[in-house]
Each structure stands twice: as C-alpha cells, then as structure tokens.
Amino acid sequence: MEISTKLKEQLELLKLVDFATLSRKEELGQDYNFSEAVVNLKRIYDDLFEVVQYASILRVPNSIEEVIGSIAIQLNEIVKSIQDFRLKGNEPAAPGQHQQIHTRVITLYQRDLEVLVPLIDRGRILKLNPKEIEKEASIALRHSKEIEKIREDVEKSKSSVEATIKQLGDSLGKEGAGRSAAFFSQQASQHERMARKWLVASIITIFSTGGLMYVLFRWPELDLTNYGDNFGRIAQVVLLKGVLLSLAYLAVYLTLKNYRVNRHLYIMNNHRQLCLDVYRLMVNATKGPEETNVILTQATKAIFEPGTTGYLDGTDTVSPLNLTGIVNKIIDKNS
C-alpha cells in the first residue's frame, strides 16, 4: 500500500487536532456540544493511523487507497466544521448545521467500519509471523507439559511428606505416651510407699491418743474431784486436757488425711498409666485418623479430668492441710 502525498498532508493536519477540547461542551452547552461526535471522530483518527502503520505489509487496490485518503479528507472537514460552528448570532441555522455535522460523523464512522477496520485486522494478522507463532505455541505446550509434570511431582511429594509427618507424629506420640506412662507409674509407686508410711503413722497416733486419753481421765493428779472448790486449779486441768486432746486429734486427722491423699494419688496415677498403655495398643489397631482422634480424646479425658476414688471424692482437697484457708480465716477474724 502506497501512502500518497495528499494522505500524508491530511494526517499531518489531523495531528494538530486537540480532540479533548473539540467537543466545545462548556462553550456550546448541553444541547449543542459535540461530545458524542468527537468520540467517533477519535476512533476514526486512531484507525487511520493504525492502517498507515501496516502500509508496508498491506496489499490493497488503488480504489481502497483513494477511499482511505477520502476518509482522512472528510475527517479534517468535519473537524473544521465543528471548530467553525457558531451558535451566537446564528440561532436560526444552528440546529440544522448541528444535526448535519452529526449525520456526517455517523456516515463517516460507518465508512470507517467498512474499510479501515478490516484492513487493521489484516494488518495485525500479517504482522504476526506464522512460523514464530507456531514456535511460541510449541514452547508454550512444552512448558505446559513441564508445569503439569512439576505439579504431579509436587502432589506426590506432598503425599509423601504428609505420610512421613503422620508416621513421625505417630512415633512421637507413642514415645511420649510411653514416657508419660513410665512417669505415672513412678509417681504411683512413690505415693503407694508414702501411703503405707502414713498408714503406720495413723495407727501409731490412734493408739497414742488412746493411751493419752487413758492417762488424762485415769491419772489421779488430773481428777477434778480432788480439787474441791479450787476453781483455778480446775481450770488449769481442764485447759491442759483440752490442749492435749486437740493436739492428739490433729495428729490423728493429719496422718489419716495424708494416708487418704497418697492412696488416692496412687490409684489415680496407676489409672493414668493403664490408660496410656491401653491407648498405644488401641491406636495400633485403628484403621484411620478419625478412630485415632476418638481414642485420643477419650484417653485425654481419662488422664487429665479429676477423678474420684474411695479415699477422696470430688469435694475433698488433695492438700492435707489448707494453709491458705487457715490464713484467710485468721485475717477475716482480725479484720
């Protein structure tokens, strides 16, 4: 396609057009501005210059070249008509001139769609080298296959990693369960030994208390009938008996309490050890993670929830002597 001198001149004139201000919207107002027409004119302008870009690769007859030049000429004429349009002092003829310009724009835009747009499509296709397109498509296909292979490898690796993590978690869980079971077994043994010692201490304090009571109520020196009206002496004996009996009661209570606490802790720790041992055996017999989770939940409840035994119930405290409660009571009394 040859770009004639006349077409070059028309294109140079079009380069000077400021389409942003060509609509004259502020000057002419809402009824007589050319905003809609300028949109189509700008499209024709862009199509003209794009066709010129493909001139070296387009082969068109002379008649088409003449049509392209005619479109450029008409575009410049319409632009000049819009620029020369006057409303003030031209009120009678203004509506007809305004409508005529819009009609010419619509007609020229239809001509653009018939001639320029097909040439643009042809130019875009010819600009693309088919061999290069085929090469790029081949490269893209190869890359797509490589990406798919990488994705499959990642999926396999992911499954392998998940299986490894599960095996590692199972082994660590079993190892942790074994260590915890050993710890609970050790604690159970310690509390069993302590319970035996406190049982012996309880028996000794009970017999000692019995002997003390025999002395307090059978020893002649502590018989209140021997002091007649000596109230001071009577008060001393009563106070002595009360203090000794209170100490004896406290000793019996503490030894029995410690025996019950240690016996309770022995049973609970032994129960926890058995839970962990059974948990490992049951996990080995499961077929899926759901069953394992159910067993783990039940084992956790059995291990960590506070339990009751025949030695302590839910209302008892594990501490043999609640020093905090005693201190709080003393503070409340003094306040």
Please report, for the chain, the start and end positions of each structural domain, with discontinuous segments joined by +: 5-128, 169-323
Interval 191-200 mean pLDDT? 89
Full-model pTM: 0.40
pLDDT for 319: 44
pLDDT at 110 over 70: yes
Report DSSP letters for 85-153, one per residue.
---TT-TTTHHHHHHHHHHHHHHHHHHHHHHHHHHHHHHHHHHS-HHHHHHHHHHHHHHHHHHHHHHHH
State the chain's mean pLDDT as an integer. Answer: 77
Residue type, 128: L
Closest by CA position to 123, among listed 174, 185, 47: 47
Are 108 and 78 spatial neighbours (Cβ–Cβ below 8 Å)? Answer: yes
Q: How far apart are CA 325 and CA 332, in angstroms?
A: 10
- Quick: pLDDT tens for 276-333: 777 666 666 666 667 667 666 776 766 666 667 777 765 555 444 443 454 355 445 5
CB neighbour class for 312 (10 Å; exposed up to 12, middle 13-18, buried from 19): buried
Cβ count within 10 A of residue 304:
9
More confident residue, 56 or 304: 56
